[in-house]
């Protein structure tokens, strides 16, 4: 008789455990997954703090910042949520100016690209981060977007491009810091000219210092210490004499960013061989 009672109690315990487990999971499913930010409008280059809550704490769960209106499969700038934490904060660099959406993917391993929570933000520009150039100061600055490329990928790609592009000119990288995403080096190019402008300057070159500042999905090129040197029709070594010539140099140097972007694509294709 005791044996029958004991078995009945074991069965009841199993049934109660199953019911409790189902109720608990249903309760979790009914809890809204939430994401929010410390503010709704950011300046280009600011830090965006994303607060998440009611997470499942799974290793594969993640949060991203993607352009508003883009498909939910657009990864944008993404980071995995810490394993085992139901709530916390993740920090992102504000992307280039525009409208964006913070998206959370809870239970990604099972659901895939199903957005669990969304939050809209706006990124605006500030003079500090705008493209600028100054003939008077001899400075050229331009920002390039590199969607889908991390800071590490851009850093490695930029170093490869610099070494391959300026190999014959013996460009020297004076400083590099992968953690901050900074590369500083020297180089020179043929003095840009067309037609009659090349008279007396065909053998001239322009030397410069190029600083590359890198963040996720974007980088900024800054050119300083611009000088013209050459021996055609006499020795010359000094600043760029005309603003029109400065603008020609600016166009050529600014195109370096586009060349870098193309090289990133080629390097990615090499990785997929």
pLDDT for res 247: 86
pLDDT for res 28: 39
Tell me if 174 is assigned to some domain: yes
For helices 151-165 and 243-271, angle between their N-to-C axes, nearest 10 degrees = 120
CA geometry: angle at 124 spanning 121 and 125, to 5°?
155
Higher confidence at residue 153 or residue 269? 153
Could you tell me if 142 and 101 lie in one domain? Answer: no
pLDDT for res 20: 42
Could you tell me if 92 and 148 lie in one domain? Answer: no
pLDDT for res 94: 85
Q: Which two tokens stand for residue 94?
A: 């504000």
pLDDT in tens, 108-153: 989 999 999 999 999 987 655 556 677 778 889 988 989 889 999 9
Q: How do strand 77-80 and strand 236-238 relate by DSSP bridges?
A: unpaired
pLDDT in tens, 242-264: 788 888 888 899 899 999 999 99
Using the predicted structure, report yes or no on whether residue 96 has a pLDDT greater than 60. Answer: yes
Q: For residue 110, what are the domain limits?
A: 33-127
pLDDT for res 202: 65
Could you tell me if 161 and 262 lie in one domain? Answer: yes
Could you tell me if 263 and 170 lie in one domain? Answer: yes
Tell me if 151 is assigned to some domain: yes
List Cβ neighbours of 24 (8 Å cut-off, separation of 6 or more).
Answer: none
Tell me if 22 is assigned to some domain: no
pLDDT in tens, 148-178: 899 999 999 999 999 888 864 445 788 999 9
Name the band, by pLDDT with cuts 50, 70 and 90, for residue 26: very low
Round to whole Å and give the CA distance between 65 and 147: 12
How many distinct structural domains can be found in the chain? 2
Higher confidence at residue 96 or residue 29? 96
Could you tell me if 158 and 253 lie in one domain? Answer: yes
Could you tell me if 137 and 96 lie in one domain? Answer: no
Round to whole Å and give the CA distance between 258 and 239: 26
Q: Residue range 191-217: average pLDDT?
A: 79
Choose the weakest-confidence range: 39-53, 94-108, 230-244, 257-271: 230-244
Using the predicted structure, report yes or no on whether residue 195 has a pLDDT greater than 70. Answer: no
pTM, whole model, 2 decimals?
A: 0.54
Using the predicted structure, report yes or no on whether residue 211 has a pLDDT greater than 80. Answer: yes
pLDDT for res 22: 44
Tell me if 21 is assigned to some domain: no
Tell me if 245 is assigned to some domain: yes
Could you tell me if 144 and 237 lie in one domain? Answer: yes
Q: What is the DSSP letter of 129?
A: G
Choose the weakest-confidence range: 51-55, 166-170, 208-212: 166-170
Q: Could you tell me the CATH number of the domain that includes residue 91?
A: 2.60.40.1930
Using the predicted structure, report yes or no on whether residue 65 has a pLDDT greater than 90. Answer: yes
Could you tell me if 214 and 149 lie in one domain? Answer: yes
Boundary-marking domain end, from 97, 127, 157: 127
Tell me if 184 is assigned to some domain: yes
Q: How do strand 117-124 and strand 41-43 relate by DSSP bridges?
A: parallel
List Cβ neighbours of 171 (8 Å cut-off, separation of 6 or more).
Answer: 162, 163, 165, 185, 186, 187, 188
pLDDT for res 267: 74
Q: Residue range 90-110: average pLDDT?
A: 90
**Helical ranges in the chain per DSSP H:** 2-30, 108-111, 151-165, 243-271
Tell me if 1 is assigned to some domain: no
List Cβ neighbours of 87 (8 Å cut-off, separation of 6 or more).
Answer: 51, 52, 53, 54, 55
pLDDT for res 136: 77
Boundary-marking domain end, from 94, 127, 160: 127
Round to whole Å and give the CA distance between 222 and 87: 40
- HSE (side-chain half, CA atoms, 13 Å) at 238: 5
Tell me if 67 is assigned to some domain: yes
Boundary-marking domain end, from 96, 127, 158: 127
Could you tell me if 145 and 260 lie in one domain? Answer: yes
Could you tell me if 44 and 102 lie in one domain? Answer: yes
Q: Could you tell me the CATH number of the domain that includes residue 216?
A: 3.30.530.80
Could you tell me if 264 and 184 lie in one domain? Answer: yes
How distant, in Å, are the alpha carbons of 48, 53, 113 from that of 72? 20, 20, 6
pLDDT over 90 for what percent of the chain? 40
Q: What is the DSSP letter of 197?
A: G
Could you tell me if 81 and 176 lie in one domain? Answer: no
């Amino acid at each position: 008789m005791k044996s029958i009672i004991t078995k009945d109690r074991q069965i009841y315990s199993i049934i109660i455990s199953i019911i409790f487990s189902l109720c608990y999971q249903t309760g979790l499913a009914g809890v809204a997954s939430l994401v929010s930010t410390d503010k709704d409008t950011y300046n280009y280059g600011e830090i965006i703090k994303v607060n998440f809550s009611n997470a499942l704490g799974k290793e594969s769960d993640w949060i991203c910042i993607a352009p508003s209106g883009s498909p939910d499969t657009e990864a944008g700038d993404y980071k995995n949520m810490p394993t085992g934490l139901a709530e916390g904060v993740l920090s992102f660099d504000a992307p280039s100016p525009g409208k964006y959406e913070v998206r959370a993917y809870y239970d990604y391993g099972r659901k895939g690209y199903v957005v669990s929570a969304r939050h809209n933000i706006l990124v605006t520009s500030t003079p500090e981060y705008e493209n600028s150039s100054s003939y008077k100061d001899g400075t050229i600055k331009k920002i390039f977007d590199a969607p889908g490329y991390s800071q590490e990928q851009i850093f490695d790609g930029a170093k490869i491009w610099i070494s391959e592009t300026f190999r014959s000119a013996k460009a020297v990288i004076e400083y590099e810091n992968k953690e901050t995403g900074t590369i500083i080096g020297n180089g020179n190019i043929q003095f840009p000219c067309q037609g009659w402008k090349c008279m007396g300057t065909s053998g001239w070159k322009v030397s410069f210092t190029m600083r590359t500042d890198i963040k996720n999905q974007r980088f900024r090129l800054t050119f300083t210490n611009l000088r013209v040197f050459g021996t055609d029709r006499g020795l010359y070594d000094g600043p760029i004499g005309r603003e029109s010539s400065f603008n020609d140099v600016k166009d050529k140097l600014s195109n370096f960013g586009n060349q870098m972007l193309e090289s990133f694509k080629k390097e990615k294709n090499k990785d997929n061989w």
